[in-house]
Amino acid sequence: MTRITRIIDSCVLVDLDGLVTLIDPGKFAWDWEDVDVNDIGKVDRILVTHAHADHFHLPFVQWLTDRFSAPIQSTAEVVTSLADAGIDATTEPFDGVVVTEAAHEPIPVGPDVPANIAFDIGGAFTHPGDSYKLERSERILALPMSPPWGS
């Protein structure tokens, strides 16, 4: 059975037959007053689509790894940032996760456009990060409708 829970913004929990994946633990999920991260019951692995703060917030990731000891998979940029903080991570996909490059949408004003990857999980769910340019999707697609991620 698959259960998908949107925390806020692009932060999503995907429970696929008891294997719980947290995608994009960003600043909004960490700082938003309506979100209590202590309600996150279990995390088996963490996926990060790219380095922007609304998708990757180091204090949130540190809290998650301290609490759950969950392995992390992401882009080289995020993996390097985590290594600098003493946290192990990999660019290699986890079992049951297909990773594809997915161009980040242009940003008219603001930070540089980072490398962005999309995750297909268990043949059931696709999370594209900040991309609309996907060649394909699983049955369920989490698609950003407006910045920041339709929140």
Q: Mind listing the domains of the chain with CATH numbers? A: 2-141 (3.60.15.10)
Distance (Å, whole) CA 53 – CA 68: 21
- Nearest 10 degrees: Cα torsion 43, 16, 131, 149: -60
Residues in the chain where the model's pLDDT stays below 70: 106-111, 145-151
Give residue 113's pLDDT: 76
Give residue 36's pLDDT: 83
Give residue 151's pLDDT: 42
Distance (Å, whole) CA 120 – CA 146: 21
Per DSSP, helices labelled H in the chain are: 27-31, 58-68, 76-84
The reported pTM is: 0.91
Give residue 114's pLDDT: 83
Cis check: omega of the bond before 148, within 30 degrees of 0:
yes
